[in-house]
Amino acid sequence: MNKASNLTDTHAHLDFFGSDQAVEKVISRALMNRVNRTITIADRLESSYRAVELAQKFDSVYAAVGIHPHDAKTVGPNTIKELKELAKSPKVVAIGEIGLDYYRDHSPRPVQQKVFAQLLGLANELELPVVVHDRDADKDVIRIIAEQGIKKGVFHCFSGNVSLAETVLSMNFYISIAGPITFKNSGNLVDVAKFVPLTKLLLETDSPYLTPHPYRGRKNEPAYVRFIAERIADIKGVDISVVEASTQENVSLLFSIPK
């Protein structure tokens, strides 16, 4: 089997699957589908600990640590310190997910902005890329990233239009596409997938959410990242092996993970 014909799920929440045994099953199904790397993403301090633990347990799992904007209000004086310690673990490849969410507003906006800036600062200090969540907050997300001088990262589960994609690319960030690209009403996303060069695209499931077609309604898992790769190959009119090779290369470059 060609080594380049593997895929990486760059954004899964493996902590949502429960016990080590349950995660092991999910990971082995991913491997059977040639998803040879999964980055498990944290949204709180507890899931940051769990992400690091899972990365230590499973060879194909890497971790990101961070605080989701929903939980910005839970950040206390020691949270950043604890994250910093955790981030030094060898399989931590990013700070995330972090960002702003003005759609749900689970934390007050000024608090979200302050915590986002702090976590970007941490990424800078540790020279790690960032995994950004942006929902209805484009302007502030872009401004704060610029203020913090961040040059390495990805906008995860991209849902913006081509003009936002253009801005993101000009910041030298990657764009990650999730399951909605496989939906009938994928709207802007098809244009975005056409527009963004393969050298700047990443793939993700955001599992357990956003299950791609044809498994909508089931619980999502990293193995299904293949449907997203197939859809992108289709949109771009290239062979799936081309999507595989370039996204694998992008993952290695951004997250410094060996292929």
Give the footprint of Zn ion on this chain (CB under 5 A): 206
Q: Closest separation between CB of residue 101 and Zn ion, Å?
A: 11
Closest CB to Zn ion among 101 and 206? 206
Nearer to Zn ion, 134 or 206 (CB): 206
Cβ-based neighbours of 33, under 8 Å, separated by 6 or more: 7, 223, 226
**Alpha carbon distance 80, 123 (integer Å):** 11
| Shortest Å distance, C-beta 131 to Zn ion | 8
Give the CB-nearest residue to Zn ion: 206
Q: Decide: 230 and 238 in contact? Cβ < 8 Å.
A: no
Q: Report the nearest approach of Zn ion to the CB of residue 5 (Å).
A: 26
Contact indicator for 116, 71 with CB cutoff of 8 Å: no
CB of residue 252 to Zn ion, shortest distance in Å? 21
Mark out the alpha helices in the chain (DSSP H runs): 20-32, 45-57, 79-87, 109-126, 138-147, 162-170, 188-195, 225-236, 240-255
* Alpha carbon distance 65, 42 (integer Å): 5
